[in-house]
Amino acid sequence: MDYTSDLTDTQQFWLGVARADEDVEGQSAAVRIAQDTGHISSREATEKLVLIRQQHLDEIVRLRNRYLANKGS
Protein backbone atom coordinates (compact mmCIF):
# COMPACT_ATOMS: atom_id res chain seq x y z
CA MET A 1 0.00 0.00 0.00
CA ASP A 2 1.27 3.49 -0.85
CA TYR A 3 1.04 5.74 2.20
CA THR A 4 2.82 8.61 0.50
CA SER A 5 -0.46 9.80 -1.02
CA ASP A 6 -1.53 10.84 2.51
CA LEU A 7 1.48 13.13 2.93
CA THR A 8 1.47 16.88 2.40
CA ASP A 9 3.56 18.35 -0.40
CA THR A 10 6.16 19.49 2.13
CA GLN A 11 6.34 15.99 3.61
CA GLN A 12 6.64 14.52 0.11
CA PHE A 13 9.51 16.90 -0.59
CA TRP A 14 11.43 15.90 2.54
CA LEU A 15 10.76 12.21 1.92
CA GLY A 16 12.19 12.64 -1.57
CA VAL A 17 15.22 14.46 -0.17
CA ALA A 18 15.83 11.63 2.29
CA ARG A 19 15.64 9.07 -0.50
CA ALA A 20 17.97 11.14 -2.69
CA ASP A 21 20.41 11.42 0.23
CA GLU A 22 20.39 7.64 0.65
CA ASP A 23 21.02 7.18 -3.06
CA VAL A 24 23.96 9.59 -3.12
CA GLU A 25 25.50 7.92 -0.07
CA GLY A 26 25.23 4.48 -1.66
CA GLN A 27 26.62 5.63 -4.98
CA SER A 28 29.46 7.51 -3.29
CA ALA A 29 30.35 4.50 -1.17
CA ALA A 30 30.56 2.35 -4.30
CA VAL A 31 32.92 4.85 -5.93
CA ARG A 32 35.12 4.97 -2.82
CA ILE A 33 35.29 1.18 -2.73
CA ALA A 34 36.24 1.08 -6.41
CA GLN A 35 38.96 3.62 -5.77
CA ASP A 36 40.23 1.91 -2.60
CA THR A 37 40.49 -1.43 -4.41
CA GLY A 38 42.35 0.10 -7.33
CA HIS A 39 39.59 -0.40 -9.91
CA ILE A 40 39.50 3.31 -10.68
CA SER A 41 42.00 6.13 -10.23
CA SER A 42 41.63 9.05 -7.84
CA ARG A 43 40.83 11.27 -10.79
CA GLU A 44 38.11 8.91 -12.05
CA ALA A 45 36.67 8.70 -8.54
CA THR A 46 36.61 12.47 -8.24
CA GLU A 47 34.88 12.84 -11.60
CA LYS A 48 32.28 10.24 -10.63
CA LEU A 49 31.69 11.86 -7.24
CA VAL A 50 31.19 15.28 -8.83
CA LEU A 51 28.65 13.78 -11.24
CA ILE A 52 26.84 11.99 -8.41
CA ARG A 53 26.58 15.20 -6.41
CA GLN A 54 25.40 17.19 -9.43
CA GLN A 55 22.69 14.61 -10.06
CA HIS A 56 21.73 14.85 -6.39
CA LEU A 57 21.40 18.62 -6.62
CA ASP A 58 19.36 18.26 -9.81
CA GLU A 59 17.03 15.86 -7.99
CA ILE A 60 16.58 18.29 -5.10
CA VAL A 61 15.67 21.05 -7.56
CA ARG A 62 13.22 18.70 -9.30
CA LEU A 63 11.61 17.83 -5.98
CA ARG A 64 11.43 21.49 -4.96
CA ASN A 65 9.77 22.41 -8.25
CA ARG A 66 7.32 19.54 -7.97
CA TYR A 67 6.28 19.92 -4.35
CA LEU A 68 7.12 23.43 -3.23
CA ALA A 69 6.97 25.54 -6.42
CA ASN A 70 3.96 27.70 -5.59
CA LYS A 71 4.04 27.62 -1.81
CA GLY A 72 3.59 30.95 -0.08
CA SER A 73 2.52 32.85 -3.16
Q: What pLDDT, on a 0 to 100 scale, did the predictor assign at position 72?
A: 57
- In the chain the beta strands, taken as DSSP E runs, fall at none
By residue range, what is the domain housing residue 46? 21-67
Whether residue 3 is contained in a domain is answered as: no
Whether residue 37 is contained in a domain is answered as: yes
Q: What pLDDT, on a 0 to 100 scale, did the predictor assign at position 3?
A: 65
Whether residue 28 is contained in a domain is answered as: yes
Give the contacts of 23 (CB within 8 A, at least 6 positions apart): 56
Number of domains in the chain: 1
Whether residue 16 is contained in a domain is answered as: no
Q: What pLDDT, on a 0 to 100 scale, did the predictor assign at position 70?
A: 79
Q: What pLDDT, on a 0 to 100 scale, did the predictor assign at position 5?
A: 75
Whether residue 51 is contained in a domain is answered as: yes
Whether residue 31 is contained in a domain is answered as: yes
pTM as predicted: 0.83
pLDDT by 10s per residue, the chain, length 73: 566 678 999 999 999 999 999 999 999 999 999 999 999 999 999 999 999 999 999 999 999 999 999 765 4
